[in-house]
A and B are shown apart, each in its own frame.
Chain A
Amino acid sequence: MAEQGKFKCLRCGHEYQDKFTPGVPQERSCPKCGSNSVRRIEEKSNIKKTS
């Protein structure tokens, strides 16, 4: 099942949302610069650890 994920281009730094299927590699290109160095970035949790 396709999910919505956050992606970052490691060439121009552009961040965008796109669909992806977990575990299925897909050819990606940055919508801004066209680079294939696109990395899926995990959404950071807002919950802060307390000691």
Chain B
Amino acid sequence: MMDVGRHPRIKLLAYSEIEHVSGFIGNFNVKVRKKSRYVDEDECTACGDCVVDCPVSVPDEYQQGLSSRKAIYIQLPQAVPSAYLIDMQNCLGNNPIACGKCQDACEKKCINFDMQDEILNLEVGTIVVATGMSVYDPTEMDEFGYRSYENVITSMEFERLICAGGPADGHFVRPTDHTRPKKIAFIQCVGSRSENRGNPYCSNICCMNTIKDTLLLKDHYPDTESKVFYIDIRAFGKGFEDMFKRSKEKGVQYIRGIPGDVWEDPQTKSLFLAVEDTTSGKVEVHEAEMVVLSVGLEPRKDMKSLQQMLTLSSTSDGFLLESHPKLKPVDAPTRGIFYAGCVEAPKDVKDSVTQASAAAARASIILNAGRVKIEAITAMINTDLCNYCGRCAKVCPYHAITEADRKLGIYPKVIQAACAGCGTCGAECPTDAITMRHFTDRQIMAQVDSILETDNMNKIVAFACNWCSYAGGDLAGTSRLQYPTNVRLIRTMCSGRVDEKFVLHALRKGAPLVLVSGCHFADCHYINAVTWTQRRIERLWNKLERLGIRPERLQLEWISAAEGQKFSRVMKELEEMRKKVTEQEVKETMAILEKEDEKEKARKLKQQEVLQTA
């Protein structure tokens, strides 16, 4: 970090927050609030004279509240820049008459209570998101006694206690009597791998962190007795299995089972853990002088605002979704944005460093090239047909369409470098003013016509998105899974491209059944385009019912690229449904929709006449 701070081409903005991000790859504009430190960071030598005189004492967040800090402080000993800042919420007042002792103590006169936040507008080409994660708060798991007993601590608190720079200067002591505990119990998966409380996913780092902690204890205090209560130990990294073995060889006991209850002896403050050892099937009670809860990792609490600011998407666990899990694991779905570290998923230091290097390399490729190549599948707006409704800008997941202004006569404009080509704007445009290159209305309608030209009663028209459902069909094929051959797939880049009129056209042309299929919400390759598909299909179901057409004839399915079996099953189910659709029903549908089409054409003609007269 010191190197970063000194690097002539790296501008480090510590104690700052991003307020707004606009623009697109190569042309991002970032508004940064550089918060006021009330201490001149260039002048401060971190001598600490100010701290001595500060009368305020508050819990130190960095030391997990195990010690205190002053209102003027350095967040952590290794902070860069190494300069103090004043926590104004706890300072006795920025009026020097109220206190001002720090100001008096500072010989270099670095403290300025009138300092204001600074707003910086930065123009950048690429962005790397490395905002980290939060740690699970175990207070809701009362069976472990975290709220009730002082000697039950979290793994984060353990780190501070055993650290030489920690509140006990590296002397590992228990909070109640400041004596060294000789029997320590570690409980794994606290807040992880639970469907009921905490998070359902594995937090990746906790097993190895505990193994490391047990080894550290054995190194510092060989007479310590450590017991680890676990579901299973996940030591899958390079050298990790060796470390696990070494821990066992040094005498650490691993007991397969998570304690159901923890209670304290009020006299000795020792703790007792009731656990079922699942290897023997026996319920045992273990004594420990200290219990360490190995807490899991969570997405940051402010992840949602970050997501909105950068137009990013998240997976169901709340971490940010990558552009492609295998081929673009450090790229965000929005071009020019990359991920590093736990913002994408829980990971250890090694993986974070690897990902950070990859993100930096990916970003520098773009910056060095100075230009980006994009797929030609982008939207075009025909201003002759546009009515300034602004729907396209509203639905674009990438904010790639500028706002229209009817009064000023400003048409919406597609930023080609930002457009990812999902086609949602094209499907939602009420005046058909948007053309999607390579997936035009004409091209898709022609495919529908071709499918239903002959033997329409035996066909199923299925719209499948390129990334998931179509790939799911591919997988079904390569896996030799059987599915009915009368399903005709029409590929679109995203299910968001499937216009209402494509479905109605297929039904008007005699399709007994239509399927719209896309990615699961969490897998959507176009941030949230799939949500617009869902809205549109729901609208269509209502419309079909209003017209007297069974909504069941329009089916919706989310199939991922890995769900070849689901693809095959769904197609078989649809085929069974298709067989039940009678020729009479299809003919009636065709007549209803033909009539509707004529009405729509007459309405458009009248609209044009009104416009021409105006």
Interface residues of A (CB under 8 A from B): 10-11, 25-27, 33, 35-37, 39-40
B520 contacts A27, C-beta separation under 8 Å: yes
A39 contacts B558, C-beta separation under 8 Å: no
B558: which A residues are within 8 A, CB to CB? 27, 36
B552 contacts A10, C-beta separation under 8 Å: yes
Chain B nearest CB, measured from A38 CB (Å): 8
B541: which A residues are within 8 A, CB to CB? 10, 39
Q: Return 28 A-B CB contacts under 8 Å, by A number.
A: A10-B551, A10-B552, A10-B554, A10-B555, A10-B556, A11-B552, A25-B521, A25-B531, A25-B532, A25-B534, A27-B520, A27-B521, A27-B522, A27-B534, A27-B558, A35-B555, A35-B557, A35-B570, A35-B573, A36-B556, A36-B557, A37-B552, A37-B554, A37-B557, A39-B538, A39-B541, A39-B551, A40-B538
Known: A10-B551, A40-B538. 14 other contacts (CB 8 A): A10-B555, A11-B552, A11-B555, A11-B573, A25-B521, A25-B531, A25-B532, A27-B520, A27-B521, A33-B573, A35-B557, A36-B558, A37-B557, A39-B551
A37: which B residues are within 8 A, CB to CB? 552, 554-557
Partner of B535, one of A10, A25, A27, A39: A25
Is B577 an interface position by the 8 A CB rule? Answer: yes
A11: which B residues are within 8 A, CB to CB? 552, 555, 573, 577
Q: 1/0 contact trace for B529-567 toward A, CB 8 Å?
A: 001101100100100000000011011111000000000
- Complex formed: what's the CA distance from A19 to B312 in Å? 26
Chain A nearest CB, measured from B545 CB (Å): 9
- Complex formed: what's the CA distance from A50 to B573 in Å? 43
Interface residues of B (CB under 8 A from A): 520-522, 531-532, 534-535, 538, 541, 551-552, 554-558, 570, 573, 577
Chain B nearest CB, measured from A11 CB (Å): 6
B531: which A residues are within 8 A, CB to CB? 25
- Complex formed: what's the CA distance from A39 to B541 in Å? 8
B577: which A residues are within 8 A, CB to CB? 11
Closest CB pairs A-B (n = 3): A25-B531, A27-B521, A25-B534
- Complex formed: what's the CA distance from A27 to B538 in Å? 12
- Complex formed: what's the CA distance from A29 to B485 in Å? 26
A25: which B residues are within 8 A, CB to CB? 521, 531-532, 534-535
B552: which A residues are within 8 A, CB to CB? 10-11, 37
Chain B nearest CB, measured from A24 CB (Å): 8
Chain A nearest CB, measured from B450 CB (Å): 26
- Complex formed: what's the CA distance from A35 to B538 in Å? 15
B538: which A residues are within 8 A, CB to CB? 39-40
- Complex formed: what's the CA distance from A26 to B558 in Å? 12
A40: which B residues are within 8 A, CB to CB? 538
A39: which B residues are within 8 A, CB to CB? 538, 541, 551
Nearest CB to that of B550 among chain A residues? Answer: A10
Nearest CB to that of A13 among chain B residues? Answer: B552
Chain A nearest CB, measured from B411 CB (Å): 28
Nearest CB to that of B520 among chain A residues? Answer: A27
- Complex formed: what's the CA distance from A40 to B535 in Å? 11
A35: which B residues are within 8 A, CB to CB? 555, 557, 570, 573
Chain A nearest CB, measured from B137 CB (Å): 23
Chain B nearest CB, measured from A32 CB (Å): 13
- Complex formed: what's the CA distance from A27 to B315 in Å? 13
- Complex formed: what's the CA distance from A40 to B551 in Å? 12
Chain A nearest CB, measured from B437 CB (Å): 27
B551: which A residues are within 8 A, CB to CB? 10, 39
Chain B nearest CB, measured from A33 CB (Å): 8
Nearest CB to that of A40 among chain B residues? Answer: B538
B556: which A residues are within 8 A, CB to CB? 10, 36-37
- Complex formed: what's the CA distance from A11 to B541 in Å? 13
A27: which B residues are within 8 A, CB to CB? 520-522, 534, 558
